[in-house]
């Protein structure tokens, strides 16, 4: 009986750990501990008709950098506000950082001394989750953006394929892109009582990651 109770307790702890890992927003920041791949974040103004390609190319010149996250500051600048409909009110909108998706947008391969790139992204639709029977327009008004819109990103990336990484000869490099979302949470109240929490996410950028294949003779 004691053994069964311990097994159930361990299983519960494992499930809780999985749930926390799944729902916790992952903030993207520079990681440079000599062991983990490094991530560099670039804030870009997509409304200024400029190009982020040169900045991404420069970031990837550092051999320690494997991921470059480009965030469009115009999309990341939401204007949340308390919003009401009948007896429902959404308040306490919180910005919880950035989430990277596991779904790829684009993939491109290149050989040494080539420059590979990609540009112009239209990501998946913005989304929200709420168990209360509130209209979509109320959630959009509260978080400060259309939670069902499809955002277009004027983002571009370039990366040169090196001959070597460290002492290893490169045979090819793959550049992949994945969506990056701004992640928000909020409280839904009925009258003066909080009844449930909800979430929303908005496409705000792209994460570019490079991976190498090496020559077998090294």
Q: What is the pLDDT of residues 63-73, one digit of tens each?
A: 889 999 999 98
CATH of the domain at 207: 2.170.15.20
Q: Coil, helix or strand for 33?
A: coil
Task: Quickly count: other Cβ atoms within 10 Å of residue 4's Cβ.
Answer: 8
- Nearest one of 174, 68, 39, 178 to 114, comparing CA atoms: 174
- Please give the mean pLDDT across all residues of the chain: 82
Give 74-98 pLDDT, tens digit per residue.
899 889 999 999 999 999 999 999 9
Give 141-195 pLDDT, tens digit per residue.
999 999 999 998 888 899 999 999 988 999 999 999 999 999 999 999 999 999 9
What does the alpha-carbon distance between residue 201 and residue 95 come to, in Å, rounded to a whole number? 10
What does the alpha-carbon distance between residue 160 and residue 211 come to, in Å, rounded to a whole number? 12
Domain with 11, as residue range(s), is 2-214
**Band of residue 51 on the pLDDT scale cut at 50, 70, 90:** confident
- Answer whether 0.85 is exceeded by the pTM: no
User: CB neighbours of 36 closer than 8 A, spacing ≥ 6?
Assistant: none
Phi first, then psi, for residue 46 (nearest 5°) are -70, -15
Give 129-140 pLDDT, tens digit per residue.
999 999 999 999
How many domains, the chain? 1
């Amino acid at each position: 009986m004691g053994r069964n109770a311990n097994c159930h307790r361990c299983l519960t702890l494992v499930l809780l750990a999985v749930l926390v890992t799944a729902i916790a927003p992952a903030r993207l920041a520079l990681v440079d501990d000599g062991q983990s791949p490094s991530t560099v974040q670039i804030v870009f103004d997509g409304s200024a008709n400029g190009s982020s390609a040169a900045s991404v190319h420069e970031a990837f010149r550092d051999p320690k950098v494997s991921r470059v996250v480009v965030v469009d500051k115009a999309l990341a600048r939401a204007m949340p506000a308390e919003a009401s409909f009948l007896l429902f009110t959404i308040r306490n909108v919180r910005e919880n950082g950035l989430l990277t998706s596991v779904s790829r947008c684009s993939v491109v391969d290149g050989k040494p001394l080539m420059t590979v790139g990609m540009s112009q992204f239209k990501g998946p639709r913005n989304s929200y989750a709420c168990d209360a029977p509130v209209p979509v327009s109320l959630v959009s008004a509260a978080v400060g953006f259309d939670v069902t819109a499809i955002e277009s990103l004027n983002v571009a990336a370039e990366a040169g394929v090196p001959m070597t990484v460290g002492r290893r000869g490169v045979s090819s490099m793959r550049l992949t892109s994945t969506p990056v979302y701004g992640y928000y949470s909020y409280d839904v109240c009925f009258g003066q009582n909080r009844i449930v929490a909800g979430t929303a996410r908005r496409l705000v950028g792209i994460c570019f990651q490079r991976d190498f294949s090496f020559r077998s003779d090294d």
